[in-house]
Amino acid sequence: MPSLAQVLEMVGQSDPGRVREHNEDAIDYDSELGLLLLADGMGGYNAGEIASLIAVQVMNEVMRAQVSATPPHIKPAGSLKCVAQEMLLLALDRANSMIYQTALAQPHCAGMGTTVVAALFYNNRVSVLHVGDSRLYRFRDGMLEQLTRDHSLLQERIDAGLVKAEDARFAADKNLLTRAVGIAPYVEGEVCEYEVRPDDIYLACSDGLTDMLDDDDIAQLLAMLSVDLGLTAQTLVDQANIMGGRDNISVLLARVKRDFSVDNPWWQRMTGWFG
């Protein structure tokens, strides 16, 4: 069976921005595993950088071990959900414990935490896990859709009708989170599954991008430049810096090249065409 690397194209860029001295974002991506990981750290000194790095490293290791042992599209007996979602939640739990224990053991790391957004691709599906305000978007047929919902006080105010969505980027409390990884012994991750189609583009990003560019700006750049994902990622970062670059800016992009159904894989169909 060909690897996911033959059907998924992935790129990433991370930049400190124009104001911050350190980059407290961390990214990781693996097209063979079908995994995107992004974390935006917080904490005094360089503790945010430590938290985000622990998050992506631990989650990558845990996901790699799980996927090598069990195909993520498998549904456990009595469950309607693929095991992929439980895999992501387990990886999150391990990362949360590691960050929390490190913060307890190292005084300079006290109170550190991080956001996380993760996407695992399998069988024409993607499971998305997130904590905090780092986001995952889907660009399909020229339309950009936000698939995650921020865990923030601002989002709660928007949901309550106290703030208009179009005014959210300028709100004073936009970066106050209601959930973060590593600040408590346990964390509740939000996980969902979506259908994947050929030519979809998925964008994971930290708030350093979305605080500087609105969704229309991002959609325009994806529409104009998406033939070259590397250029698209770099341009998104550059534009966020042009608009002020007030925070670290991280971008991950994944393009779906073709169908990758386990039940009716594309390479078997091609064999039939030429047989």
CA distances from 145 to 14, 110, 233 (A): 22, 36, 17
Rounded Cα–Cα distance for residues 255 and 38 (Å)? 17
What's the predicted TM-score (pTM) here? 0.92
pLDDT at 268 over 80: no
pLDDT classification of 271: cutoffs 50, 70, 90: very low
Class of residue 64 by CB neighbours under 10 A (exposed 0-12, middle 13-18, buried 19+): middle
The domain locations on the chain are: 4-274
pLDDT at 2: 56
pLDDT at 159: 83
Q: How far is CA 163 from the centre of its chain?
A: 25
pLDDT classification of 45: cutoffs 50, 70, 90: low
Rounded Cα–Cα distance for residues 275 and 254 (Å)? 32
CA distances from 31 to 36, 146, 149, 212, 235 (A): 8, 22, 25, 28, 21
Mean pLDDT of the chain: 92
Tell me if residue 97 falls in helix, strand or coil.
helix
Residues 114, 24, 122: CA angle, nearest 5 degrees: 60
Rounded Cα–Cα distance for residues 231 and 215 (Å)? 18
With tokens 């974002």, the residue in question is: 25
pLDDT classification of 169: cutoffs 50, 70, 90: low
Rounded Cα–Cα distance for residues 129 and 22 (Å)? 26
List pLDDT tens digits, range 21-43.
899 999 999 999 999 999 999 98
With tokens 């919902």, the residue in question is: 149
pLDDT at 275: 44
Task: Return the CATH class of domain 4-274.
Answer: alpha beta
pLDDT at 267 over 60: no
Cβ within 8 Å of residue 106, ≥6 positions away: none
